[in-house]
Amino acid sequence: MRIHYRRAEQIQAGDADGVGRTVRLRTRGWLPYRLDLMLQMTEQRGNRGFAFTADGDLCGRGEWTFEPEGAFVAAPFPVLEMTA
């Protein structure tokens, strides 16, 4: 699945570790519509990733993990747990 980030704007910087950092994203995937999201980092996990909350067209919380793979880093699409 390919996601295109059409726009990214930082709304709030967060603390020294980035916790509280808030960004507004506009994305578009293979379906014929766009998604507007506000993501806020809730936990920094060093070079292993971070946890975040999402609000907007998709609401919930999630985590993005990074794993070393030789000379590269695997960063699969983040897992998002949806809320009502």
**Residue closest to 50 by CA, chosen among 59, 39, 58, 60:** 39
Average pLDDT of span 2-31: 88
Q: What is the pTM of this model?
A: 0.79
Which residue ranges make up each domain of the chain?
4-82
Tens digit of each residue's pLDDT (9 = 90 or more) over 19-61: 999 999 998 877 788 889 999 999 999 888 999 999 999 899 9
- What is the pLDDT, as a whole number, of residue 84? 59
- What is the pLDDT, as a whole number, of residue 1? 54
Average pLDDT of span 65-74: 90
Question: Could you write out the DSSP letters of every residue in 12-81?
Answer: E--STT-TT-EEEEEEE-SSSSEEEEEEEEEEE-GGGEEEEEEEESS-EEEEEE-EEETTEEE-PPPEEE
Of 39 and 83, the one with more pLDDT: 39
